[in-house]
Structures are given as structure tokens and as C-alpha cells.
Structure 1
Amino acid sequence: MTIDPDTFRAVLGRFASGVTILTARDAAGRDHGMTVSAFCSASLDPPLVLACVDRAARMHDLLLDLDRVGISILASGQEALARRFAELESDRFEGLGYVRGESGVALFDGALAHLECRVRDRYPAGDHTIFVCEVQRAVARQDRPLLYYRGGYAQLDR
């Protein structure tokens, strides 16, 4: 049975998810980042998360070679930040507030949570690669999350 891509996208759009920005720093010290909504926890022991990245994404090949990433889980007021890192801007970091994690990755001010991770495994999966990351540091704060639902950003009312 073959599923039409538009139908598949519409069905999966009914699944609300959090919004993250995945960041990395290349060997020359340049920051890279992208918005990722295909993110979830994978294991508590050891602490693992996974992020699915389209193989056509500009950051994909860089992630194949790097072993450290940062993940900022976005708060409800950070839709503009999510959009900025979903588009093809040349310097997405210019003028933004962020801190450097212990591993050197950028972690965004105001985020609901930060994770610093070591990329542990990479698995091809259709037109994406699944990056399994071991969490080395994690910090959370109280706020409401930014959500992605039916092709757009949404807020949690409670």
C-alpha cells in the first residue's frame, strides 16, 4: 500500500510536538543551527534523545562529522526564533542572545530547556538521518512550551 505524501504530511500534522533548535560548532568555530520538531527522548538510562534531520538540510552533512550538539527546547514566546532557524538566512545567530555550553555549543536565552549532547549514533531513515544523542548536561526552567501543530506554531493554554 502506498500513502500519498500530502495525506501522510496532513495526518502527521495532527501530532502536536515541541520545537527545538539544534546547534553545533564546526572546527573553524562557526555556529550552525536549525529548527527541529522531530525530536524526542529515547532512553533514561543512559539519557538519550533523538533528532531526525532531513538529508537535504544544510546542516545535515556537518552533523555527520561532529560529535557535540546543543538543543534548546523553545518556550512559548520564541516563535520568531524558531522561524529564523527554519529559514535560509546566512547568519542566523547575529543579534541573538545565547550562552556557550561547556562543550562550546550555542544555547538560546529564554529557552524552556537546554541539553548538551554527544552524538552517539546515526541511522539512515528514508530521506532523513536519525541522530541519537547522549545527554551530558541538562537544564530546565518553568514556562510554557512552543508547539508545532498542523503546519504552524501554537501555544499551550494551560
Structure 2
Amino acid sequence: MQIKEVEPRIFRRVMGKFATGVTVITFSHEGQFSGMTANAFMSLSMDPPMVLIAVRNQARFAASVKPGDAFGISFLREDNEALSSHFGGRPQADLEPDYRLLGEAPVLAGALVQLAVRANAVHAGGDHLIYTADVQAIEESDGRPLLFYSGSYKQLHALDPATCWFDLG
């Protein structure tokens, strides 16, 4: 299907068909640790190690984090769906996030990967701000990632060759 005019509703639906991992961006706001779920995250450079995130202009993060500030990025594991919802605007009253410091950055304990980063630049990008950041520390653990696709959470499943067959003829 070809669309001549890009309507926001259609654009949002189509962009949802790009599968992503789920991250929580953690930062200090008014002396307290805070966070937000984000899937607008990517590696930017290997040498030096850098990442990129995009956040809404109105996000608390945008008011709190400026170039030079440290913040954390936690890749969620498949059993962290409640954390994603909590930081994604649906607070869970019975959920107390387990923050810890990695270098100067708050991160979430129990995540698949934790990155401590320092913002180095902020760029305008429509209704979002694009942050580039230098990676300063990394911790990782074993597990499987939490995925997001077409408006819902998904899990990564390994293909078992013993239970699958393919007709190549």
C-alpha cells in the first residue's frame, strides 16, 4: 500500500512494526533518581563508544539532563515488563525500582545491560531532542531481552531445529 500523505496515526502504526529492545533511561531530577522507558536508542560510534537517544521535548529528562551530565541506560530483560510499564507512564504502586550507581550514573539493578553515559550534545529533532552520549562504563549479565513490536511486548525464542522442517523443494 502506498500512502501519499503521511498521517501521524499511520506513521505511528508503521513505525511500531520495527522491533526494538526496551530500555529505561535513568537520571537525577531534583535530587531524586527518575527514569523513562525508551526504545529510541541506538549505538552511534564504536571508537569512541557513543550512543544516541531521542526523548520528547516535554519529557522531564529534557529539563533535567544537559551536555556534561551523567545518566544511565538499562536494557530490560524479558522478566522486566513491569519496569517498562512503570517508567513508560503506567506507574505500578507496588513496584519500587532498584536503582544503583554505575560510576556517576543511576542504573536499574537486575537489567540485562547497564550503561553509564555522559551527554555530550543535544540536537533538535521535531517534537524530540536527540542526545548523543559517551559511554563511560558497562555492566552486563546473561538473559534474554524484552522486545517491543507492533504495540506489545514480545520475547525472543530460539528456533529448535529438531522441531522444525523446511520444504526446500
Common fold by TM > 0.5: yes
Displacement of 1:108 in angstroms is 1.2
Given candidates 25, 31, 40, the residue that maps to 1:22 is: 25
The SS at the match of 2:65 is: helix
Matched to 2:24, the amino acid is I
Relative CO higher for 1 or 2, CA cutoff 8 Å, sep ≥ 6? Answer: 1
Match of 1:46 among 9, 23, 48: 48
Q: 1:60 is matched with which residue?
A: 62
- CA offset at residue 56 of structure 1? 2.0
Q: What is the 5 A alignment of 1:131-146?
A: 131-146=131-146
- 1:59 partner amino acid: F
Alpha-carbon offset, residue 20 of structure 1: 0.5
Deviation at 1:133, TM superposition (A): 0.7
What is the Cα deviation at residue 10 of structure 1?
A: 1.2
Residues in 1 aligned to 2:138 and 2:56: alpha-carbon distance in whole angstroms: 25
Task: State which structure, 1 or 2, has the greater radius of gyration over its C-alpha atoms.
Answer: 2
- Residue range with higher mean Cα deviation, 66-75 or 115-124: 66-75
Give the SS at the match of 2:86: helix
Contact 2:48 2:134 in 1 (8 A): yes
Q: What percent identity do the matched residue pairs reach?
A: 37
Q: Which runs of 5 or more residues in structure 1 are unaligned?
A: none
| Structure 2 portions without partners, runs of 5+ | 159-169
RMSD of the TM alignment (CA)? 2.1
Q: With the length of structure 2 as denominator, give the TM-score of the two structures.
A: 0.84
State the alpha-carbon separation in 2 of the partners of residues 40 and 57 from structure 1.
Answer: 19
TM-score with structure 1 length normalisation?
0.89
